[in-house]
Structure 1
Amino acid sequence: MPKAYAYTRYGGPETETFVDAERPVPSPGQILVAVRAAGVNPVDWKLRAGFFRRPGDTGEPGSPRVFGNEAAGVVEQTGEGVTGFAAGDAVFGNTVSGGYAEYALLPAAVTAHLPEELSFADAAVLPVAAATAYDGLRQLDLPAGATLLVTGAGGGVGVAVVQIARAFGLRVVGTASEAKKDFVEDLGATHVVAGPDLAARVRAAAPQGVDGVYDLVGGDVLQEVAALFDDRSRLISAAARQEVERLGGAPVARARTTAVLDEVARLVVRGDLSPWVTRTYPLERAGEALRAVEEGHTRGKVVIEVGA
């Protein structure tokens, strides 16, 4: 039977296991894909840890839940009503049934054809981080030449935000640890070290002020940078929905469309966006891949490679 890597209850790594999974059958609007690569993201272990349970929900998943929110592979079967995709097509997108598996279901509305120039591994890491970055930048809609502040510029989404913002003609100031200074500057941003008195360092790096903030940290950092400017319509966060709304800004509004995936893929093909895949693991080492992300022992994107 097809293999998949899942968690059986909320908790730590001890809840993770390989499971035999029935080959999924696509429902209307879905695509069954033979997975070739799956992206690994912090949201994967956070779901396992129960971070996103609703208040008062003390229950368990009920059945094993397969890890993974993004994947690339080859179409095996399409569900009723799906057009534009056929068996044998190379595709990538968000998952319905989890990507750390030999087979996964993808919603056709958030699936795109894989350009010939892209590998499965590179495409597999675009639907979460790169698409989130793209959606937020379109939401801010800053004109070319404007200055954007990115908090957490050295993280998975931050790396994509900086690159796409530069492709849009923006000047970028990025906050990150001192250890990531060279990395952030190589991306094309002015580095500002994270930590106390952050606002003062941002003002020194951008004496003309910032025109927008893309927050990826939340907490005290978000509150401090929000005070840098009055137009809170140009303040967005992918890390703290309620907090940014209290400050007069807005959470990143995700489009989750094929069109967005097509656009981020074009940015990669044009050389404006690097997926930054730095480590790959076979499916049988999925636990190691997830530990690398959960423990912060890697820079760049981690991918699980599956199948041929």
Structure 2
Amino acid sequence: MPRAYVFTRSGGPEAEAFVEQEVPVPGPGELLVAVRAAGVNPVDWKLRTGYRRPGSEPPTFPVVFGSEAAGIVERTGPGVEGFEPGQAVFGNPLTGGYAEYTLMPVAVTAHKPDALSFTDAAVLPVAAATAYDGVRQLGPAPGSTLLVNGAGGGVGVAAVQIARHLGVRVVGTASADKKNFVESLGAVHITSGPGVTERVRTVAPNGVDAVFDLVGGDALRAVAGLVTDRTRLISAGGKPLAVELGGAAVERARNAAVLDEVARLAVSGVLRTYVTRTFPLAEAAEALRAVEGGHTRGKIVIGVAG
């Protein structure tokens, strides 16, 4: 039977395991997809610890890891239009991406362009789509200054590239060892940590026009005062705190249209995915540990043999 990497209860890495599962059956509006690649994201291990997305139901264990994947349509559920077996797709799986087979809802699934690899397509639905939604929400004008707080991670890397494509000046906070990487994206690098506000003001004396936060906590508090109009502050890393500070959470569209758009940006060369490491499904635990450590550069992918 097909294998999947799951967590069997809320907790730490000790709650993770491989299991064998029946091939799922697609329901109305769903696709059965043979997974070729799955993106690894911080939310994956956070869900294992007991974190729940707002409005979500309590989990039914075991839960398959993975919030984004790409693969080949094997079967379509009742009422599905626009998708056929054999087509390459990518999107947000219903039943987890760290698996040989998963179910995908057509509402958040898009056709993979031929020019885009499964590996690159697999990392677009979470990080790139979040970045796209956030930049679109802020709507920064060409020539304005955007601070991306946490520019070295998956969402930050995409946000910098999208904003730069729009003619926006980007200041990006990240650890000192990511300086060259952040600057290669076209952003002004500022070392994160104590004193970050003063360091930002050396390159933006009057503050910034908008803040896109991906860190939360004290790091968000430290930069919030750099934007005078707090409605120009959004966060995907500390949503309740952003609201408390007068800002807002990133408003996620979660639809196929956004997936089509980020794929178009990737194919055109505007958006590079920066996949830095790929692990086979058998090493899913190692892939998760790399992301859970919090110091990854770009994106990590789990490859599933076809």
TM-score by length of 2: 0.96
Please report how far the alpha carbon of residue 209 of structure 1 lies from its aligned counterpart in structure 2 after TM superposition: 3.2
Instruction: Verify: 1:185 aligned to 2:201, yes or no.
Output: no
Change (3 A) 1:211 1:298: closer
Please report how far the alpha carbon of residue 61 of structure 1 lies from its aligned counterpart in structure 2 after TM superposition: 4.3
Q: Which residue of 2 aligns with 1:149?
A: 147
Q: Which residue of 1 aligns with 2:110?
A: 112
Change (3 A) 1:128 1:209: same
Change (3 A) 1:247 1:26: same
Instruction: Verify: 1:28 aligned to 2:28, yes or no.
Output: yes
CA contact (8 A) 2:153 2:299 kept: no
CA contact (8 A) 2:68 2:125 kept: yes
Q: Distance in 2 between matches of 1:181 and 1:122?
A: 24
1:295 paired residue among 278, 290, 293:
293
Structure 2 letter corresponding to 1:24: P
CA contact (8 A) 2:91 2:108 kept: yes
* Comparing 133-142 and 290-299, the one that deviates more: 290-299
Please report how far the alpha carbon of residue 254 of structure 1 lies from its aligned counterpart in structure 2 after TM superposition: 0.3
CA contact (8 A) 2:39 2:122 kept: yes
What is the DSSP-based 3-state SS (H/G/I as helix, E as strand, rest coil) of the residue aligned with 1:286?
helix
* Comparing 281-290 and 245-254, the one that deviates more: 281-290
Structure 1 letter corresponding to 2:20: D
CA contact (8 A) 1:8 1:61 kept: no
Q: Which residue of 2 aligns with 1:49?
A: 49
Please report how far the alpha carbon of residue 305 of structure 1 lies from its aligned counterpart in structure 2 after TM superposition: 0.9
* Comparing 233-242 and 295-304, the one that deviates more: 295-304
Please report how far the alpha carbon of residue 62 of structure 1 lies from its aligned counterpart in structure 2 after TM superposition: 4.2
2:119 paired residue among 111, 118, 121:
121
2:256 paired residue among 255, 258, 269:
258
Q: Distance in 2 between matches of 1:53 and 1:226?
A: 24
Structure 2 letter corresponding to 1:71: A
CA contact (8 A) 2:211 2:227 kept: no
Q: Distance in 1 between matches of 2:79 and 2:127?
A: 29
Q: Distance in 2 between matches of 1:61 and 1:127?
A: 22
Q: Distance in 2 between matches of 1:214 and 1:297?
A: 19
* Equivalent residue runs for 1:162-173 within 5 Å: 162-173=160-171
Q: Which residue of 1 aligns with 2:9?
A: 9
Q: Distance in 2 between matches of 1:134 and 1:103?
A: 28
TM-score by length of 1: 0.95
Structure 2 letter corresponding to 1:51: Y
What is the DSSP-based 3-state SS (H/G/I as helix, E as strand, rest coil) of the residue aligned with 1:289?
helix
2:174 paired residue among 172, 176, 180:
176
Q: Which residue of 2 aligns with 1:224?
A: 222
Q: Distance in 1 between matches of 2:295 and 2:212?
A: 25
Please report how far the alpha carbon of residue 208 of structure 1 lies from its aligned counterpart in structure 2 after TM superposition: 4.6
**4+ long deviations beyond 4 Å:** none
Please report how far the alpha carbon of residue 116 of structure 1 lies from its aligned counterpart in structure 2 after TM superposition: 0.8
Q: Distance in 1 between matches of 2:249 and 2:151?
A: 17
* Equivalent residue runs for 1:264-303 within 5 Å: 264-296=262-294, 298-303=296-301
Q: Which residue of 1 aligns with 2:85?
A: 87
Q: Distance in 2 between matches of 1:97 and 1:224?
A: 38
Please report how far the alpha carbon of residue 298 of structure 1 lies from its aligned counterpart in structure 2 after TM superposition: 3.6
Q: Distance in 1 between matches of 2:197 and 2:137?
A: 23
CA contact (8 A) 2:44 2:66 kept: yes
Identity percentage over the alignment? 67
What is the DSSP-based 3-state SS (H/G/I as helix, E as strand, rest coil) of the residue aligned with 1:104?
strand
Please report how far the alpha carbon of residue 52 of structure 1 lies from its aligned counterpart in structure 2 after TM superposition: 2.8
Q: Distance in 1 between matches of 2:118 and 2:60?
A: 32
CA contact (8 A) 1:26 1:79 kept: yes
Q: Which residue of 1 aligns with 2:76?
A: 78
Please report how far the alpha carbon of residue 51 of structure 1 lies from its aligned counterpart in structure 2 after TM superposition: 2.7
Change (3 A) 1:6 1:90: same
Please report how far the alpha carbon of residue 118 of structure 1 lies from its aligned counterpart in structure 2 after TM superposition: 0.5
